Amino acid sequence: MATLKGKALIAYLVVCVFWGSTYLAIKVGVTDLPPFLFAGLRFLVAGLLLLVIARALGDPLPRRTDWRTLAIVGLLLLAGGNAFVVWSEQYIGSGIASIFVVTVAMWTALFDAIIPGGASELNWRIIAGLLLGFLGTMLLVGATPAEILAADKRGPIALTLASASWSVGTVYAKRHPTQASPYMGAAFQMIVGGVTVALVGTVLGEWASWHLSTRGIGAIAYLVVFGSILGYSAYSYALRHASATIVGTYAYVNPVIAVLLGWLLLHEPVHPRTFIAMGMILGAVVWIQFSHKLAVGRSGGRAVATDADTLRAVTDRPPSRAPQTEEQPS
């Protein structure tokens, strides 16, 4: 279960497609709305809606013993991760931003290997795949090192911190399992993250510049439905059933989806360089998947032990009293 199969693969692809389409919506939203209130209220609304949907489908509320873990994950992923991506797009173009966002895959692989409790290892195969994907993204975006260095430093600094926070949250989630369903857990995380980010916006006085426009409402609605309810829930599900290193490669696929959507829907031009870059990125994702599967296969019994919780998550059975290691806390 360390690699992507079945429903976990479908969830991963949902993340790639929907989160690949959110860059434009974020850029539109932050143009009309203050960043922290925009990000915070988006997640708060999405979390409340998902909570209602999950309860209607029969999912129980998270146990009190799980609240701490879900809150920490929500803060790391949404308050520390996504909110600063939104804030940074005031100062940096989406193309340059995507270069820094794809480092999520590298950060996640690093933390997944060095934080105790997982089965991943950062071998030369995975490092080579991560570098190939990063170079492919630079080629796809067409950004040169000079352009990256010339960018407003507030954007890159915020994006680097956001990527690191998101990655730590991803690995923390794998190391601290809960019994909450993926959807109820995601709802709780979005509510905690949304309230926190909205409070930051309130302290910064953003309500004075909060004026809803048609564009702003459209951006919020799109991000609530596709970016949060569908995308974030799918991310939680995929992370529950596959390694953090593998799921983290969604960051490489997002720019590919964004370019393809621009080509199909907006008739934006593509060049031979575009297809070469896409080949490099997709090749890197497949290579990392294969490398991780090879490493898990060599680890033998350790992989079986770490998959025990995943099997329990699939069957929705109550946990045993045996030690738990690898399961997403949502």
The tally of CA atoms less than 13 A away on the side-chain side of residue 159 is: 24
pLDDT at 177 exceeding the cut of 80? yes
CA distances from 146 to 51, 96, 116, 132 (A): 46, 11, 38, 20
First to last CA, the chain: 17
Can you give the residue ranges of every domain in the chain? 6-315
pTM of the entire structure?
0.75
Chain center to CA of 220: 18
Mapping DSSP onto H, E and C, the string for the chain reads CCCCCHHHHHHHHHHHHHHHCHHHHHHHHHHHCCHHHHHHHHHHHHHHHHHHHHHHCCCCCCCHHHHHHHHHHHHHHHHHHHHHHHHHCCCCCHHHHHHHHCHHHHHHHHHHHHCCCCCCCCCHHHHHHHHHHHHHHHHHHCCCHHHHHHCCCHHHHHHHHHHHHHHHHHHHHHHCCCCCCHHHHHHHHHHHHHHHHHHHHHHCCHHHHCCCCHHHHHHHHHHHHHHHHHHHHHHHHHHHHCCHHHHCCHHHHHHHHHHHHHHHHCCCCCCHHHHHHHHHHHHHHHHHHHHHHHHHHHHCHHHHHHCHHHHHHHHCCCCCCCCCCCCCCC
Higher pLDDT, 272 or 172: 172
Nearest to 133 by CA among 164, 163, 99: 99
Going by pLDDT thresholds of 50, 70 and 90, the confidence category of residue 95 is: low
User: How far apart are the C-alpha atoms of 29 and 311, rounded to whole Å?
Assistant: 40
Most confident of 27-41, 87-101, 134-148: 27-41
Return the sign of the alpha-carbon dihedral for residues 272, 276, 277, 282: positive
**Residues 5-31: what's their mean pLDDT?**
86
Max avg pLDDT among 81-90, 222-231, 317-326: 222-231
- pLDDT tens-digit series, residues 280-301: 877 887 787 667 665 555 554 4
Q: Is the pLDDT of residue 241 over 90?
A: no
Work out the burial of residue 71: count CB atoms within 10 Å of its CB; fewer than 13 is exposed, 13-18 middle, 19 or more buried.
middle
Q: Select the more confidently predicted residue: 272 or 71.
A: 71
Q: How many CA atoms lie within 13 A of 147 on its CB side?
A: 14
CA distance 263 to 17: 14
Q: Is there a contact between 31 and 89 (Cβ–Cβ < 8 Å)? A: no
Per-residue pLDDT tens digits for 46-76: 999 999 999 999 999 999 999 999 999 999 9
CA angle 283/278/328 to nearest 5° reads 60
